[in-house]
Amino acid sequence: MSASNKKIEEALEHIRLAEKCLKTSFLKWRPDYDEAADEYNKAATCFRNAKSFEQCKDCLMKAGECYKQNRKLFYAAKALDQAVSVSKEIGDLREVAALAERAANMYMRHGSPETAAASLDKAAKVLEQHHLDQALPLYKQAADISLIQDSSRQAAEYLSKVARINVKLKQYDDAVVALRREIGVHQQNESYQAMGRLAVALVLVQLGRGDVVAAEKAFKEWGNCCEGPEVQTLEMLLQAYDEEDPDGVRRALNSPFIKHMDVEYAILARDMPLPQGMTNPQKANVRENAAASYVSPNTQTTATIEDAPNDVPAEAGGDNEEESQQSFGLC
């Protein structure tokens, strides 16, 4: 018998003992959940050594349920954490988010909030590579737990991940909310350098939303935390947007410190829509040495008559009248 088959047989024996512990009889009114959980844990270890991960996960789930029935919430949550790890090895991530939330809830009820946040962070990292939309709420929940526990460093780290994932998913409104929360955490710790970097990120996200006014407000609100080169670049960037100068915007976004920001913000700056700029009216094409346009002589005469002055001397008018009368008399 191979070592793998031997481990599977050993695991099946532990499962039989666990099921026996869960049975009741005339003299045994209540199942022995504690002993059954231990047997399921041993079976899970055997299945894992035999590379039978599906059965390992099933045993861990049953062990967690037994611990929960016996009100050992910490051990129940730990079993679910192990099930998350096994799911990663299987490559089946469909239940990871739900398992992590259940485990975090049990850790919180047990009174271990830091462990709950760490459990959510662990599961979110498993999902982050292929399922950003499922990792996002886990990071949010971890940040909320850390803020409640006044763990500002961990809260800032989780909020940073929330903001960057939102930028990656082009959910800029949610990214603005996360960035402002992160700035608030750093403000409490008086981490002004970190606030300056986040102010640059906030301006970029507002511009990504297409809201230049909001970007200018963010700069006025938090720009005093930025360093000199950052201030000059942001001023040049916002001025170029006001003047609709695409070349100026491109120069500002190619600034070295923007390129060396977190990858999500650097990509946002690279793909930022540029203003269209002012378009000059197209001049008519004129042929050199062309002949003058034809003007009708009647039009010229009419124009000359219309332009003649009306204030004719009175004497001249009288002479003309007499001549006219004489001519009529002759007739």
pLDDT digits (tens, 9 = 90+) for 161-199: 999 999 999 999 999 999 999 999 999 888 888 999 999
Q: How far does CA 18 lie from the centroid of its chain?
A: 47
87 backbone dihedrals φ, ψ, rounded to 5°: -60, -35
In angstroms, rounded to a whole number, what is the distance separating the alpha carbons of residues 109 and 74? Answer: 9
What secondary structure letter does DSSP report for 281? Answer: P
Q: Are 226 and 200 in contact (CB under 8 A)?
A: yes
In angstroms, rounded to a whole number, what is the distance separating the alpha carbons of residues 238 and 252? Answer: 9
In angstroms, rounded to a whole number, what is the distance separating the alpha carbons of residues 125 and 140? Answer: 13
Other beta carbons less than 10 A from residue 149's beta carbon: 14
Other beta carbons less than 10 A from residue 180's beta carbon: 16
Q: Are 39 and 13 in contact (CB under 8 A)?
A: no
In angstroms, rounded to a whole number, what is the distance separating the alpha carbons of residues 185 and 152? Answer: 6
In angstroms, rounded to a whole number, what is the distance separating the alpha carbons of residues 98 and 141? Answer: 13
pLDDT at 294: 41
Q: How far does CA 75 lie from the centroid of its chain?
A: 36
Residue 212 burial (C-beta neighbours within 10 Å; 0-12, 13-18, 19+):
middle
Predicted TM-score (pTM) of the model is 0.78
pLDDT bin (cut points 50, 70, 90) of residue 148 is: very high
Identify the weakest region by mean pLDDT among 117-126, 258-267, 288-297: 288-297
pLDDT digits (tens, 9 = 90+) for 283-321: 334 444 444 444 445 544 444 444 444 444 444 444 444
Q: Token pair of 304, please?
A: 């000359």
pLDDT at 205: 96
pLDDT at 1: 54
- Could you tell me the end-to-end alpha-carbon distance of the chain, in angstroms, rounded to an integer? 151
Q: Which of the two residues, 292 and 51, has the higher pLDDT score?
A: 51
Q: Which of the two residues, 84 and 257, has the higher pLDDT score?
A: 84
pLDDT bin (cut points 50, 70, 90) of residue 25 is: confident
In angstroms, rounded to a whole number, what is the distance separating the alpha carbons of residues 245 and 237? Answer: 9
pLDDT at 321: 44
In angstroms, rounded to a whole number, what is the distance separating the alpha carbons of residues 217 and 234? Answer: 12
* pLDDT score of 110 more than 70: yes
Please give the single-letter amino acid code of residue 112. Answer: S
pLDDT bin (cut points 50, 70, 90) of residue 274 is: confident
Domains annotated on the chain, with CATH: 1-71 (no CATH), 150-275 (1.25.40.10)
